[in-house]
């Protein structure tokens, strides 16, 4: 499998209209924090075509990612000040 981050960057640059992004909060139907008896988990309600896209041989399925954008990055989104190392 290719690097998922490179695949995401390519898709965002070349095919932004074909990418679906939904805040995970909108999909959560159940969740629980980790304890000594079990790991933490999140149960998501997604459309059937997403589930179908997860099954089968990897070369025939969609790449579904969970992408986390840190709060600091979101806060920088509208800033007009360019910090060292930041690309605009």
pLDDT, position 82: 73
pTM of the model: 0.67
Helix/strand/coil (H/E/C) assignment for every residue in 18-73: HCCCCCHHHCEEEEECCECCECCEEEECCCHHHHHHHCCCHHHCCCCCCCCCCHHH
pLDDT, position 32: 96
Residue ranges in the chain modelled with pLDDT below 50: none
From residue 64, alpha-carbon distances to 16, 30, 81 in Å are 15, 20, 33
Quote the CA–CA distance of 46 and 29 in Å, as a whole number: 10
pLDDT, position 83: 72
pLDDT, position 80: 65
pLDDT, position 15: 94
């Amino acid at each position: 499998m290719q690097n998922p981050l490179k695949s995401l960057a390519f898709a965002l640059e070349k095919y932004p209209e074909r990418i679906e992004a939904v805040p995970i909060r909108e999909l959560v139907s159940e969740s629980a924090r980790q304890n000594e008896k079990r790991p933490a988990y999140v149960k998501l309600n997604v459309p059937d075509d997403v589930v179908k896209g997860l099954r089968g041989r990897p070369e025939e399925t969609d790449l579904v990612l969970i992408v986390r954008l840190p709060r600091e990055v979101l806060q920088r989104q509208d800033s007009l000040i360019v910090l060292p190392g930041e690309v605009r």
